[in-house]
């Protein structure tokens, strides 16, 4: 009982996730800056931003639903943190593995998108409303390819359990090469999920000021930012566990490998962020349904066929 509470609150739960989220946000921003040939923020920048927002005045607009408005950021952070508990970190096993946890993690990761929608919609601002409609439109286009891309390795491994998949691919390391199309689809769809460039039209600051978060300030916005940074960690860990099946028996070594895997994924995302420009929401929908979804379906078909052929 005490160990479970420690696991949930400190490691690898809430506290570790928050610290690592700030660290990865720094890595992301620093890499982005270096790729633009500038010096970039100092190492404490995400922490300073977070503390500053916590210490600022929190303005709640007069005509919003106050309890929901205050609850949404907390809800987002809670969903992301619970998803993190089911992702393997130092070995092939997560904290509480069970058959079907892959689906649970994917659904918990959908909750932030829905709370972003509600946040924008409820804040009674035109920009917020446009931002939230775009958030949901985007959800419908990247979610299907993302699910298919993460589930097709599961088809080959014949399990819905993330740790089961990890064990399978550790036993058959070469099979992971078959999932290369799924990895490409997942990396692209992840950028839609995290609302990063080039799919950041839901919060495009140059056209609709800040999208869903336009009315959020101070403490509530700090929690939102933390949740977004934590979502990056969870998604990177999930993709690392599924597509880079390198695990070690030694927990320390395993933890180092985990850090390396997430850093690689964040590096890929940072490179995309610096070489791309924002694309319009209709172009995004078009791209996802025309190219990503067929590629993901192709991967599923390949994996289904291979399953009958390959020795497992």
Partner 1 sequence: MAKRNIIEKAIDWSRRKSPWIIHFNAGACNGCDIEVVDALTPRYDVERFGMLLKGTPRHADVLVCTGAVTLQTRDRLKRIYEQMPEPKFVLAVGTCACSGGIFEDCYCVSGGMDTVVPVSAYIPGCAARPEAILDAVVKLLTSLEKSQKAIDN
Residues that bind partner 1 (CB under 8 A): 29, 33, 36-42, 44-45, 47-52, 54-59, 127, 205-206, 208-210, 213-218, 221
Q: How far apart are CB 21 and partner 1 at their closest, in Å?
A: 17
Whether the CB-CB separation of 87 and 105 falls below 8 Å is answered with yes
CB 72 within 8 A of CB 104: no
Q: How far is the CB of 28 from partner 1 (least distance, A)?
A: 12
Which CB sits closer to partner 1, 210 or 234?
210
Q: 148 CB contacts (<8 Å, ≥6 apart)?
A: 182, 185, 293, 296, 297, 299, 300
**Cα separation values, 135 from 5, 46, 225, 251, Å:** 34, 24, 16, 38
Q: Nearer to partner 1 by C-beta: 172 or 219?
A: 219
**Considering the complex, what minimum distance in angstroms separates the CB of residue 312 from partner 1?**
50
Q: Which is nearer to partner 1, 190 or 210 (CB)?
A: 210
Angle 65-71-73 from CA coordinates, rounded to 5°: 120
**Looking at beta carbons only, is 33 or 268 nearer to partner 1?**
33
Longest pairwise C-alpha distance within the chain: 64
- Is 17 within 8 Å of 230 (Cβ atoms)? yes
- Shortest spacing between CB 3 and partner 1, in angstroms: 31
Nearer to partner 1, 84 or 127 (CB): 127
Dist CA 134 CA 107 (whole Å): 20
* Nearest-approach distance from CB 115 to partner 1, in angstroms: 18
């Amino acid at each position: 009982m005490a160990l479970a509470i420690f696991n949930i609150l400190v490691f690898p739960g809430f506290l570790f996730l928050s610290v690592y989220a700030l660290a990865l946000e720094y890595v992301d921003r620093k890499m982005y800056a270096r790729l633009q040939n500038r010096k970039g923020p100092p190492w404490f920048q995400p922490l300073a931003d977070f503390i500053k927002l916590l210490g600022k005045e929190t303005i709640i607009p007069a005509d919003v639903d106050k309890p929901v408005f205050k609850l949404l950021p907390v809800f987002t952070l809670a969903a992301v943190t619970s998803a993190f508990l089911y992702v393997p970190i130092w070995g092939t096993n997560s904290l509480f593995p069970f058959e079907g946890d892959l689906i649970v993690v994917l659904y918990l990761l959908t909750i932030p998108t829905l709370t972003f929608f509600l946040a924008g919609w409820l804040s009674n601002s035109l920009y917020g409303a446009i931002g939230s409609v775009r958030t949901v439109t985007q959800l419908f286009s990247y979610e299907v390819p993302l699910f298919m891309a993460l589930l097709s390795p599961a088809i080959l491994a014949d399990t819905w359990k993330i740790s089961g998949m990890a064990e399978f691919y550790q036993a058959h390391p070469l099979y992971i090469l078959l999932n290369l199309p799924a990895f490409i689809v997942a990396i692209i769809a992840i950028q839609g999920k995290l609302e990063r460039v080039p799919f950041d039209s839901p919060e495009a600051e140059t056209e609709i000021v800040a999208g869903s978060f336009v009315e959020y300030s101070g403490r509530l916005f700090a929690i939102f930012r933390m949740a977004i940074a934590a979502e990056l960690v969870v998604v990177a860990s999930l993709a690392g566990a599924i597509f880079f099946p390198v695990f070690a028996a030694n927990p320390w070594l395993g933890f180092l490998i985990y850090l390396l895997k997430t850093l690689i994924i964040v590096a890929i995302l940072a490179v995309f962020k610096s070489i791309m420009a924002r694309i319009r929401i209709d172009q995004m929908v078009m791209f996802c349904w025309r190219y990503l979804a067929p590629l993901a379906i192709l991967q599923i078909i390949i994996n289904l066929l291979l399953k009958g052929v390959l020795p497992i």
